Amino acid sequence: MERKIKALIQQVIDLAKSSREIYLTMANLVERPETKETLQYLAKNEEGHKRFFQKILDEAVCPLEVPLEDTHVSEFLKCPHITRKMSPKEALVLAIKREETLHKFYKYLENIQPPGEIRNLLKEMVLIKLEHKDKLEYIYDDVAFPEVW
């Protein structure tokens, strides 16, 4: 497997690790059970993503085909600052922004791949990230805009 492809896969693995750590940290900070459960669910999914891409890297199977152009990975590595005094609303905003960024990242990778197994896999990752974002936005609506009777 080419060095450039290995580096890209390692960046994807690092993103999954970072996302998992962020979600677990936020899950330990928030008080609402439904927010905590959602963040733990997202962390578990990120662990699965990490294992999948680590297998690709370790076994050199299904290598990604990367064109000779900037993959813009650095644009997707920005991580918001997390504090212990973070409210559930703030935790959800950070998680939503994280999922949105990862959705864009996987969409970019999908678009540069030729048709085939890897493109199909990345298309699935795009949908997963969109589902995560959608679920978080639904919960955010309840936290940010509770009904007042």
Each residue of 102-131: pLDDT tens digit?
888 889 888 988 888 778 878 888 888 888
Contact status, residue 62 vs residue 6, Cβ threshold 8 Å: no
- Give me 138's structure tokens: 């639904």
User: Which two structure tokens, joined as six digits, stand for 67?
Assistant: 């064109």
User: What does the alpha-carbon distance between residue 49 and residue 149 come to, in Å, rounded to a whole number?
Assistant: 42
Q: List CB contacts of 2: < 8 A, sequence separation 6 or more.
A: 63, 66
User: What global pTM score does this model have?
Assistant: 0.68
Query: Looking at the 3D structure of the chain, how many domains does it have?
Result: 1
Say if 149 falls within a structural domain.
Answer: no
Task: Supply the pLDDT for residue 71.
Answer: 42
Domain residue limits at 24 = 3-144
**63-77 pLDDT per residue, tens:** 555 453 444 443 443
pLDDT, tens digit, 9 for 90 and up, residues 84-104 = 667 777 777 788 888 888 888
Q: CA 13 to CA 33: how far, in whole Å?
A: 28
Q: Does the residue 78 lie in any domain?
A: yes
Q: What is the per-residue pLDDT for 149? A: 45
Q: What is the CATH number of the domain that holds 52?
A: 1.20.1260.10
